[in-house]
Homo-oligomer: A and B are copies of this chain.
Amino acid sequence: MTHLPDKPREECGVFGIYSGPPNDLAWLTYLGLFALQHRGQEAAGMCVSDGDKFHVEKDLGLVTQVFDERRLDSVRLPNARVSIGHVRYSTTGSNLRFNAQPLTTRTNKGILGLAHNGNFVNALEVRQEMLMQGALFATTNDSEVMLNLIARESHMDLVEATAGAMKRLRGGYACVLMSRTQLIGFRDPHGVRPLVIGQRDEDGAWVLASEPCALYAVGAKLIRDVQPGELVWFDREGLHSLIVESKQPTPCSFEWIYFARSDSELDGVDAHASRIRMGEQLAREYPVDADIVVPVPDSGIGAAIGYARESGIPFDYGLYKNPYAGRTFIAPTQEARELKVKMKLSPTSAVKGKRVILVDDSIVRGTTSRQIVNLLREAGATEVHFRVSSPPIKHPCFYGIDTAARKELVSSTHSIEEVRAMIGADSLAFISERGLREAVGGSGLCLACFNGEYPAGTPLLNDVDKLALEV
């Protein structure tokens, strides 16, 4: 990964394309996934069908590692019409390879491929019920529960059965699903996870993706977001839509704080512009007298520009980021984690003798933040004021973000002053929830990791116990 080790991690990015006239969909899906690589670096995969053949390839690794020329060729179909793809950041486990997506299965509706981003909070409950009814589960992947629900309704067609499954499952999710002839996309009733629709001018091909950048990568324009609770499908007649279930929209605020690429617009809100507004808001909420505003690259850049603009304090590059630092790095000793930060970031002359306002998007464990503050001091910064463009993270995410276990979340167990002391900053301030809401704008936001209010429910605890017993 090129992300710093101590950031929340998106679990997935999804992509789908339905092409009227045949197209090299393996190649277009490759481009789309490449543009979504920031959403998951541990596995990548795709399915391609021409209405008859149905090819699938997936493996651990970056898109460019999984799909070398030989392997991309192996999924290519000259008359391809439908394709979906997936990039995954996966939590640890011994069977990582088997959990790579898209998940494919043969059902009474023919062969299906599913790629999903997010989590179903009642997946274990449903899974347990289906196991007792004689179902098999090849993986520990939530997606398989969705596919079993779809397959079970042998009297319904694929769209109906998918709508039925959406009603049975709760949580925050955005999925793409394909049969040999259809592309389907759907988003949870709260719209926690993002999904956008695009179309190519040159041939009218329809595209679904977690972020608009993947649309642009394949020459498509952004048409609109899939609505919360909406099910869309594409076939020879074009785009169809069904609102399965509609609730108060609460898209994930972290998409704007950190996850989404700065060239993305989601649910009508531009990521880069909102980050600048967060920085401006932060400058209004927590001003401080200093000489320069320095971002933690690359996550703090937008907010740092905003902070600098609002405060009038010059923006500068105080930290060089080694572009090769994301590569697998051998670290034989205990000092490994500390070394990783040091090999990735190093202070420039800009901070020497300066009072520095250091801007980042979030603090999770605080360990990396402490090292960065330390690097700046060693390089001669006389003061370091830490400003964070998200509120303190105190609660785990159940909708597809890997924040860290609750006890590792430094803000869950420590006051802001305690965190400040730990990271060694002269001052520390987080944007307020209200300030964040204003900076993002829009009608509603999921702020569960800050305030513990989970709009789409939480898992039953005894599901976790069952998991321990069963899997």
Q: Which residues of A contact B (CB under 8 A)?
A: 2, 27, 30-31, 34-35, 37-38, 53, 55-56, 62-65, 67-69, 72, 74, 94-95, 98, 104-108, 110-111, 131-138, 140, 144, 147-148, 151-154, 213, 216-217, 261-263, 265, 270-273, 276, 298, 301-302, 305, 309, 314-317, 320, 322-324, 326-330, 332, 339, 342-343, 346-350, 470-471
Chain B positions within 8 Å of A30 at CB level: 330
Q: A156 to nearest B CB, angstroms?
A: 11
Q: A431 to nearest B CB, angstroms?
A: 19
Given contacts A34-B329, A64-B329, A134-B154, 12 further A-B contacts (CB under 8 A): A38-B324, A56-B98, A74-B94, A105-B137, A131-B154, A136-B148, A262-B317, A263-B320, A263-B346, A272-B317, A272-B350, A323-B323
A217-B343 contact in complex given A317-B301, A330-B68, C-beta closer than 8 Å: yes
Q: Contact at B262–A320, with CB atoms within 8 Å?
A: yes
19 contacting pairs across A/B (C-beta < 8 A): A27-B332, A30-B330, A31-B339, A37-B322, A38-B322, A38-B324, A63-B324, A64-B327, A64-B330, A67-B330, A68-B330, A106-B470, A131-B154, A134-B154, A136-B147, A270-B348, A272-B317, A305-B317, A324-B326
Lowest 8 CB-CB distances: which A-B pairs, in order? A134-B152, A106-B137, A138-B138, A64-B327, A272-B348, A2-B323, A270-B349, A37-B324
* Bound-complex Cα distance A137 to B78 (A): 27
Q: Contact at B347–A263, with CB atoms within 8 Å?
A: yes
Q: Contact at B346–A34, with CB atoms within 8 Å?
A: no
Chain B positions within 8 Å of A98 at CB level: 56
* Bound-complex Cα distance A153 to B305 (A): 61
Chain B positions within 8 Å of A136 at CB level: 105-107, 135-136, 138, 144, 147-148, 151
* Bound-complex Cα distance A298 to B322 (A): 11
Q: Select one of B74, B272, B349 contacting A349, CB under 8 A.
A: B272
* Bound-complex Cα distance A55 to B98 (A): 12
Chain B positions within 8 Å of A265 at CB level: 349
Q: A371 to nearest B CB, angstroms?
A: 14
Chain B positions within 8 Å of A105 at CB level: 136-138
* Bound-complex Cα distance A63 to B325 (A): 11
Q: Select one of B132, B263, B270, B342 contacting A108, CB under 8 A.
A: B132
A323-B38 contact in complex given A55-B94, A349-B270, A471-B111, C-beta closer than 8 Å: yes
A108-B131 contact in complex given A62-B324, A262-B348, A263-B348, C-beta closer than 8 Å: yes
Chain B positions within 8 Å of A55 at CB level: 94
Q: Select one of B72, B111, B309, B326 contacting A330, CB under 8 A.
A: B72
Closest to A112 in B: B136
* Bound-complex Cα distance A425 to B273 (A): 25
* Bound-complex Cα distance A348 to B213 (A): 10
A320-B261 contact in complex given A64-B329, A314-B309, A330-B64, C-beta closer than 8 Å: yes
Chain B positions within 8 Å of A38 at CB level: 322-324
Q: Contact at A273–B349, with CB atoms within 8 Å?
A: yes
Chain B positions within 8 Å of A72 at CB level: 330
